[in-house]
Structure formats: structure tokens, C-alpha cells
């Protein structure tokens, strides 16, 4: 973080990537394992040179791991956040395997902005809980339209089973205690991370724009695994089930 703090003309994109990862891991200690299983399932179902859509890509966390593991893959990252996209653009500026697209996933015409009509895999993480159920169901219909037959969609996110309220409460309480402990040892949370971005000479302007778009954070839903799997089947996927879960998170795979 110190590099990014002291940058004047250009930002240290790798330092921003690292600090983004640390901030996200504060919420999701199993984040790297979740990405690893996601890429295992990409390999199992569509091979090692896939054309991938990194949906709500943020800084391009999935894209970075995809290309490190599968150098022959290509990726289109889509997001609406100008600051996170600036970090992604800085990171992948000289990589012609990556295309970045600014689009609102609540806009039904977002697929028209993509450079390709179809993808082997559409991958997303820690993002779709920013949408409420109705726009998310619409988005799943649009995702089904861009995944080729035999291709996959994977969503790694918080998915809450409302039939287990006591388990949920105990898990949440433990997670929050651990988060507070980590914070005491200096980990940056969401708000502090954005405060730092707002002070960076390069990221200040796009950070101001992202606050105009989202406020602090969009307000969506966290439906159950069953809801996600059912809606994905209704929208055109043939099979859908979790391929990984933690006490708070699920990686759901849908096969077209």
C-alpha cells in the first residue's frame, strides 16, 4: 500500500491489486481456494484455452488468476465501477488477451457492448449480491444468452439458507469476531480502502465518480443456492449445483 500512497503521476497497479485482495480476504478468508476451484471446474468443463467473460470484474481478480494458470485463455471484463476498472486497465494495459468493458449489468442491453457473441465460461465472484432478485433473474437470462451450448456459468457469492437461522447467526457472529481481530492487526476494511483510493492522485477522480454511481455499496439480495440453481435452469441452463461451499459462501456452477 505504501507504493500506491506515494505515487504521483501513475499508480502502482500491482500494489493496488494486492491491497484489494487483502481487503476482500478480510471478508472472505477462503477467497483464493474459491478461485482455485472455479478454475479447476473451468478446466474440467471447457478446457485450458477458454474465452471467458469476467462478470462484474472489479480489478480483474478472476482474469488475473485465469491468465496465470491458462496462458492461452482470453478474457473480457465487464464492470461499472470507474475506479476498479482503472486498476484493471492499468494492470492489463499491455495484455491483448484482455478487453475491458464499462457496462451496467442492470441495463438489458449490456451484452451488446461485448466484443464476442458467445463465451465458453462466464465467471463472477462476490458481486451479484449487489442486485435484487428480479434484476438478478433478468441478468441470468442474459448470461444464458452469451454462454455457448456446453459452456459454463459460475457464481461465487454469499448465498443464504434461510431455513437455518441459528447456524447462520452463529457463523456470522464468529466471522465478525475474526474480522474485528484482523482489523485490530491493521487490515483495511471496505470503507477505509475506498478512503485510501480517494486520496490517490490517479484514483481520486474515478473514485468520486464511483460514489456518484453506487454510494458506499449497492443494496441487493443474497438468495439461497436453491433459488440460484432453479432460476438458472429456468433461464436455459441444463444442470446447476454447488461445486464448493464454506460456512458463508457458495460456488455455484451451471452448465448450458
Ligand X SMILES: C[S@@+](CC[C@H](N)C(=O)[O-])C[C@H]1O[C@@H](n2cnc3c(N)ncnc32)[C@H](O)[C@@H]1O
Question: Does 130 contact ligand X by CB under 6 A?
Answer: yes
What are the grid coordinates assigned to 123, written together?
A: 465467471
CA distance linking residue 98 with residue 118, whole number of Å: 15
CA 247/CA 226 separation, integer angstroms: 16
Q: What is the DSSP string of 28-39?
A: -TTHHHHHHHHH
DSSP at 236: T
At how many degrees (to 10) do helices 225-234 and 133-146 cross? 50
Confirm or reject binding of residue 207 to ligand X (CB under 6 A): no
Q: Which of residues 84, 122, 146, 196 is near ligand X by CB under 6 A?
A: 84
State the nearest-atom distance from the C-beta of 168 to ligand X, in Å. 21
13 counts as binding ligand X under rule CB under 6 A: no
User: Which position among 12, 79, 120, 200 is part of the footprint of ligand X (CB under 6 A)?
Assistant: 79
Query: Considering the rule CB under 6 A, would residue 77 count as an interface residue with ligand X?
Result: no
- 250, 125 contact by CB (below 8 A): no
Q: Which is nearer to ligand X, 116 or 190 (CB)?
A: 190
Binding of ligand X at residue 105 (CB under 6 A)? Answer: yes
Among the listed residues 33, 104, 192, 219, the single contact to ligand X using CB under 6 A: 104
Contact between 98 and ligand X (CB under 6 A)? Answer: no
DSSP strand pairing (147-158 vs 249-255)? antiparallel
Q: Residues in the site for ligand X, rule: CB under 6 A?
A: 24, 56-58, 61-62, 79-81, 84, 104-106, 125-127, 130, 218
Amino acid at each position: 500500500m505504501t507504493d500506491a500512497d506515494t505515487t504521483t503521476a501513475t499508480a502502482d497497479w500491482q500494489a493496488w491489486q494486492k491491497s484489494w485482495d487483502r481487503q476482500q480476504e478480510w471478508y472472505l478468508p477462503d477467497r483464493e481456494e474459491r478461485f482455485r476451484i472455479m478454475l479447476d471446474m473451468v478446466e474440467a468443463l471447457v478446457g485450458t484455452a477458454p474465452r471467458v467473460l469476467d462478470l462484474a470484474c472489479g480489478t480483474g481478480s478472476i482474469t488475473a488468476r485465469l491468465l496465470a494458470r491458462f496462458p492461452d485463455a482470453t478474457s473480457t471484463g465487464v464492470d461499472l465501477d470507474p475506479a476498479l476498472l482503472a486498476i484493471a486497465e492499468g494492470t492489463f494495459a499491455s495484455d491483448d488477451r484482455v478487453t475491458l468493458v464499462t457496462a451496467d449489468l442492470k441495463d438489458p442491453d449490456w451484452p451488446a457492448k461485448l466484443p464476442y457473441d458467445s463465451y465458453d465460461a462466464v465467471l463472477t465472484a462476490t458481486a451479484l449480491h449487489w442486485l435484487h432478485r428480479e434484476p438478478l433473474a433478468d441478468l441470468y437470462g442474459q448470461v444464458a444468452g452469451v454462454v455457448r451450448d456446453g459452456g459454463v456459468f459460475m457464481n461465487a457469492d454469499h448465498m443464504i439458507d434461510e431455513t437455518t437461522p441459528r447456524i447462520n447467526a452463529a457463523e456470522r457472529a464468529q466471522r465478525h469476531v475474526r474480522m474485528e481481530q484482523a482489523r485490530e492487526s491493521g487490515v483495511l476494511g471496505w470503507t477505509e480502502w475506498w478512503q485510501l483510493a480517494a486520496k490517490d492522485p490517479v484514483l481520486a477522480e474515478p473514485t468520486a465518480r464511483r460514489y456518484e454511481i453506487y454510494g458506499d455499496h449497492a443494496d441487493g439480495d443474497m438468495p439461497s443456492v436453491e433459488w440460484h440453481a432453479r432460476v438458472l435452469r429456468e433461464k436455459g441452463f441444463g444442470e446447476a449445483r454447488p461445486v464448493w461451499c464454506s460456512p458463508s459462501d457458495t460456488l455455484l456452477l451451471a452448465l448450458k
